[in-house]
Amino acid sequence: MAKVLIIGAGGVGNVVARKCAQVSEVFSEIILASRTQFKCDRVAAAIDKPITTAQVDADDVGQMVALINKHNPDLVLNVALPYQDLPIMDACLETGVDYLDTANYEPIDEAKFEYRWQWDYRDSFEDAGIMALLGSGFDPGVTNVFCAYAQKHYFDEIHHIDIVDCNAGDHGHPFATNFNPEINIREITQKGKYWQDGQWIEIDPMSVSMDIDFPEVGIRKGYLLYHEEEESLVQNITGLKRIRFWMTFGAAYINHLQVLQNVGMTRIDPVEFEGKQIVPLQFLKAVLPDPGSLGTNYTGKTCIGCIFNGVKDGQQKNMMIYNVCDHAEAFKETGAQAVSYTTGVPAMIGAKMMLTGQWKKPGVWNMEQFDPDPFMQALNQHGLGWKILEGKTLKQ
Ligand code: NDP
């Protein structure tokens, strides 16, 4: 029986609140706080368990500390934006409360994400006797757990990992992003990179692509991007020689993105407009569809997983672990499309692991550093069943 404070009432926050409410034997009290109070109230009104709501600017450590002191939660579950990670971690330190998020910190004025800023809290969290679990979404999150599971049960050494992320759904809009547009576009328009033989190899944005055959979805073009879970996995997976991350995009999405880039709408530096400073990408976010509203009439599926190559008992081995999630089914259950769903469910499961003591250790941790078995079991139990495809390689 525990009290959870959820920060952020967007697409993912809605799913987290609903999923926590379904598991009332663990989450006996839920507080949902965000920058805009009515969004919290809207989520709470759609859930048949009582949820307390609150307004907070999570960039302000003082406001976060006051909120935590008022409600005295056992865990702060951060599904606001990556910019808020550090102020929320500071507030957790000040109040001695555990922390969980789904995306690593990014400075607002530079599209650069790395764990360094949050790993710097390792000693202070350990000294305070509190825990932070980083990246408990799908990717990062479930993909890290898939890697830990493959390492524990299927390989002596994993040599190559390709994380493959496909959204084969159709939301009916000419252009929309499936999670926060600002974060999504910053991720895609920065340089890509992958890790091979001990070093990072940088590539121009979206310059490397490949047709990938996704189980239950079919062939889609995947683009090589940098993704944050690669940074921790290179440290925690035995014998790794290469790790890459691929995400699929349709031709219409790429065309829209190119035009938006060409006209300067994806810039993150402020420009002067009618006497005011505005950031073009933040303005673009304001006119694009809200990811949380995309679920209605969304058809098709997501397929996200990891393709492994390595050695077991002296033999070469290939396999894939993946999940397929149906947009319409996710919407029916939570009023959200599959991208919010596949992020919100693992966030709830990560919190459940911590609150039930199955994953509990003072310090700052990434997902693959814990026993994957109870998490894998919980995925099956809470709506994200997974499968294993033996012999699967990236090329076939
Ligand atoms: P949304 O933009 O839909 O929601 C973000 C929410 O955070 C909004 O309710 C917003 O409030 C709130 N917020 C923003 N700034 C503050 C602040 N300063 N104080 C309090 N609340 C604030 O995003 P998503 O729900 O799509 O994404 C949420 C998080 O999940 C992001 O960090 C994203 O990167 C991560 N994510 C992780 C994935 C994974 O697999 N690991 C996949 C997809 C997303 P307001 O409405 O007022 O703006």
Residue nearest to ligand 1 atom 3, measured at CA: 10
What 200-208 contacts at long range (C-beta under 8 Å, 24+ apart), as own/partner pairs, is: 206/249, 206/254
Q: Which among 99, 179, 231, 348 is the best mutation to test ligand 1's pocket, defined by most ligand atoms within 8 Å of the CB?
A: 179
Q: Domain for residue 148, yes or no?
A: yes
184-210 pLDDT, tens per residue? 898 888 899 999 999 999 999 999 999
* 10/40 Cα distance (integer angstroms): 9
Q: Domain for residue 380, yes or no?
A: no
The Å distance, Cα 78 to ligand 1 centre, comes to 9
35-86 pLDDT, tens per residue? 999 999 999 999 999 999 999 999 999 999 999 999 999 999 999 999 999 9
Ligand 1 pocket (Cβ < 6 Å) reads 7-13, 34-36, 39, 56-59, 79-82, 84, 102-103, 135, 137-141, 179-180, 183, 291-292, 343
* 298/296 Cα distance (integer angstroms): 6
Who contacts 199 (Cβ-Cβ below 8 Å, separation ≥6)?
none
Q: Which among 32, 35, 228 is the best mutation to test ligand 1's pocket, defined by most ligand atoms within 8 Å of the CB?
A: 35
The residues that bridge with 200 in the sheet, in sequence order, are: 195
Residue nearest to ligand 1 atom 32, measured at CA: 81
> The domain that contains 267 carries what CATH number?
3.30.360.10
Q: Domain for residue 389, yes or no?
A: no
Task: Answer yes or no: are the C-beta atoms of 392 and 321 closer than 8 Å.
Answer: no
Q: Domain for residue 393, yes or no?
A: no
Q: Domain for residue 101, yes or no?
A: no
Nearest one of 329, 330, 309, 327 to 318, comparing CA atoms: 309
Q: Domain for residue 313, yes or no?
A: yes
Total domain count for the chain?
A: 1
The residues that bridge with 302 in the sheet, in sequence order, are: 167, 325
- Domain ranges, residue 198: 142-336
The residues that bridge with 127 in the sheet, in sequence order, are: none
The Å distance, Cα 180 to ligand 1 centre, comes to 6
Q: Domain for residue 20, yes or no?
A: no
List the strands of the sheet with 98-101, edge to edge. 52-55, 27-34, 2-7, 75-78, 98-101, 131-134, 363-366
Of 157 and 295, the one with more pLDDT: 157
Q: Domain for residue 328, yes or no?
A: yes
The Å distance, Cα 32 to ligand 1 centre, comes to 13
Name the pLDDT band for 272 (thresholds 50, 70, 90): very high
Residue nearest to ligand 1 atom 34, measured at CA: 103
According to the model, what pLDDT value does residue 222 have? Answer: 96
Decide the pairing of beta strands 363-366 and 131-134: parallel
According to the model, what pLDDT value does residue 1 have? Answer: 87
- Mean local confidence (pLDDT), 172-194: 90
Residue nearest to ligand 1 atom 2, measured at CA: 180
The Å distance, Cα 258 to ligand 1 centre, comes to 24
The Å distance, Cα 94 to ligand 1 centre, comes to 23
